[in-house]
Amino acid sequence: MRDRFSAVLKGGWSVGLLVAVLAGCATSPTALPIPKPHAVLLAPTTVDTLMASDLRSGAPIVHQMIGQLLWEQDMQVNAPPLPEFYELWRQAAETTGSEAAPVPLAVNDVAVRMLLDGLRARGENFDALLVPYLTVRRGTVTGESVRWDGVARRLPFSYQNRDPFLVAQRGVSAACTSLGVIAYGPHGERLFERIGGLEVAKRMWVDGHRRGWNDRDDLFQDENALRSGVKEALYPLLTN
């Protein structure tokens, strides 16, 4: 089963550009369950330019997990050929005056409808289009945990002469990775937009009365955390 699934997604991800800002801490937007689609067209997973170097390695991992979770729900997952996908999007963008690449926070629904018409004309079969993107959000640090976008994660940190009060004090925030998903019906009608938290992006260090943040060398390696965050983002599709 894994080989069959991997073959469907082969070549189906790409790192694009997502214009976004470090948003305030928020839970995932409310989205009701929707009828389960039989065939899903999974667009390339793009990344936020704010922390592109940190997010880029996670794009193929998260993309694969999205497809796996949908496949476990008996959905057929199709990935459009990238050259055709981007060319159709370019044509739709030129016609509607929208962004020249599928940028989730600037998605033009009219352009999406044109894109879907073009994909359908080329023989693609789908009941829904999913546009996933990795972005950076602000999480709230409470004690040794961080909360954002519907999840809570243990705060990764290292210390010398640890000051517990310095870690636990209020007002501390952490940059966190999240998966956003915009879902469209077969004719371009927007079904939902939802965000699920993945992992804390940086590791806190504490030395006496000082603290700061370092890069993590284990980002996007916690399969359980990633899976729960992807499920949070895909909630409307996984509850039927």
Query: So what's the pLDDT on residue 60?
Result: 94
Residue predicted with more confidence, 187 or 196: 196
Residue with tokens 């990764």: 156
Position 198 pLDDT exceeds 50:
yes
Rounded CA gap, 47 and 55, in Å? 6
Q: Which residues contact 106 (CB under 8 A, 6 or more apart)?
A: 19, 98, 99
**Residue 157 and residue 70 in contact, taking contact as beta carbons nearer than 8 Å:** no
**Residue 174 and residue 141 in contact, taking contact as beta carbons nearer than 8 Å:** yes
Pairing of strands 128-142, 173-184: antiparallel
Backbone torsion region of residue 211, taken as left when φ is above 0, otherwise alpha when ψ lies between -120 and 50, otherwise beta: beta
Rounded CA gap, 200 and 162, in Å? 20
State the chain's mean pLDDT as an integer.
Answer: 79
- Read off the pLDDT of residues 52-67 as tens digits, 9 standing for 90 and up: 888 899 999 999 999 9
Rounded CA gap, 196 and 235, in Å? 9
Position 115 pLDDT exceeds 60:
yes
- Name the residue ranges covered by the structural domains of the chain: 2-136+178-199+221-237
- Integer CA distances (angstroms), 32 to 28, 192, 235, in order: 12, 8, 8
Rounded CA gap, 140 and 146, in Å? 5
Instruction: With CA atoms as reference, report the closest residue to 107 among 116, 99, 115.
Output: 99
Average the pLDDT over each of 3-7, 34-38, 56-60 and give the range with the smallest value: 3-7
Q: Which residues contact 105 (CB under 8 A, 6 or more apart)?
A: 18, 19, 20
